[in-house]
Amino acid sequence: MSPKRRSAGFTLIELLVVIAIIAILIGLLLPAVQKVREAAARSSCQNNLKQIGLAAHNYASANRDLLPPGYLGTYPNLAEHLAGVPVAPGSGQWVGVLAIMLPYLEQSSVYSMMLNGVPQNYLKTDYKGDPWYTLGTTTGPFPAATAKIKTFLCPSDPSELATGVKAYFHLSEDSAEAFQWGTFSNLTTVQAIGKSNYAGMAGYGGNAPDAVSKRYIGIFTNRTQVSISAVPDGTANTIMFGESLGTKSISPRPDSLSWMGVGVLSSNWGLDETGGQFFSQAGDTMFSSLHSGVVQFAFADGSVRPLGKTQASANPGYMLYVYTGGYTDGKNVDFSVLGQN
């Protein structure tokens, strides 16, 4: 009689050892995979900002060296407007800088739809027309605003999860004001509107008349156009665009920005975060990101650079950040401090 052969296969102990080894390997690989994904998302976001910055330069080249306005709100302020209430017809178009630059971002078809059926001078700074979200059914500003434009979205941010979206953001004489869908409309409307993670830099308070806002005014404000070749602080020291989550919290997510209406944000709240997922009270109006430790900005010289998130008002980098947001303050910027994480 021939001896019995041992059947091929794993014993229970061997199987458990293999599973344990696989689990360890997965545990080691996951952080590396996450880092690769974040690096890819950050690179994609950087490219988006690069394209937006180049579009601004191309706009200026085609328009007597003048950059587009930050947005077309009422001018110079909105004293009659209460925060959170839709503005009346004829009080301003509320179209933002990204929408005005659409032809220079390979979005001519969306641009044409936006201007179909509106006055020929609808995007002129000296024309005060109806808000964009009141115009159009099948064509016009509102239908155009539902376009999902990849260049306006940071891949790190799931902005579509928001239950509200801002139709516009306005820096008035003494505050920041916004009209947000979610209170006045339903989730279907919120989800239909094209979102954005990018906005122009309005400086400390836009073109509000107070002394601090005037000193640290940004390149993109309400109905003003800056000459790109006449930036006193130097283009390498001046922010044009930055990224933002447009929200005070990520989970739950109450806010996102619309690319059609939210043209600018302010520097005066800094770049500070609390707890990683929850931002300061002004989080929906500040530049912010889900990138680890940094927020990315496109500067007026065409470069894209990350700035550290620790620029709270008590931090040495805060005023340097305010300086980079203004284009006429004449202040030097130490980027070795500003760029610290």
pLDDT at position 106 is: 95
* 32 pLDDT more than 70: no
* 305 pLDDT more than 90: yes
* Average pLDDT rounded to a whole number, residues 227-233: 90
Q: How confident is the model at residue 36 (pLDDT cuts 50, 70, 90)?
A: low
Q: How confident is the model at residue 4 (pLDDT cuts 50, 70, 90)?
A: low
Q: Which of 51-60, 114-123, 128-137 has the lowest mean pLDDT?
A: 128-137
Q: How confident is the model at residue 27 (pLDDT cuts 50, 70, 90)?
A: confident
* Average pLDDT rounded to a whole number, residues 252-278: 83
pLDDT at position 1 is: 52
- Estimate to the nearest angstrom the gap between the alpha carbon of 72 and the chain centroid: 18
Q: How confident is the model at residue 307 (pLDDT cuts 50, 70, 90)?
A: very high
User: Hey, CA dihedral for 105, 87, 194, 147, is it positive or negative?
Assistant: negative
pLDDT at position 20 is: 82
pLDDT at position 341 is: 46
Q: How confident is the model at residue 186 (pLDDT cuts 50, 70, 90)?
A: low
pLDDT averaged over every residue in the chain: 85
Q: Which of 89-98, 132-141, 267-276 has the lowest mean pLDDT?
A: 267-276
pLDDT (tens digit per residue) in 67-119: 999 999 885 555 445 455 666 777 889 999 999 999 999 999 999 999 999 99
Q: What percent of the chain has pLDDT over 90?
A: 50
Q: Which of 19-28, 92-101, 105-114, 209-218 has the lowest mean pLDDT?
A: 19-28
pLDDT at position 280 is: 63
* 179 pLDDT more than 50: yes
pLDDT at position 89 is: 74
pLDDT at position 214 is: 92
* 218 pLDDT more than 60: yes
More reliable by pLDDT, 285 or 177: 285
pLDDT (tens digit per residue) in 290-301: 998 899 999 999
pLDDT at position 332 is: 83
Q: How confident is the model at residue 333 (pLDDT cuts 50, 70, 90)?
A: confident
Tokens representing residue 213 in the block: 């806002």
pLDDT (tens digit per residue) in 142-164: 999 999 999 999 999 988 888 88
Pairing, β 257-258 against β 264-265: unpaired
pLDDT (tens digit per residue) in 234-251: 999 999 999 999 988 887
* 256 pLDDT more than 80: yes
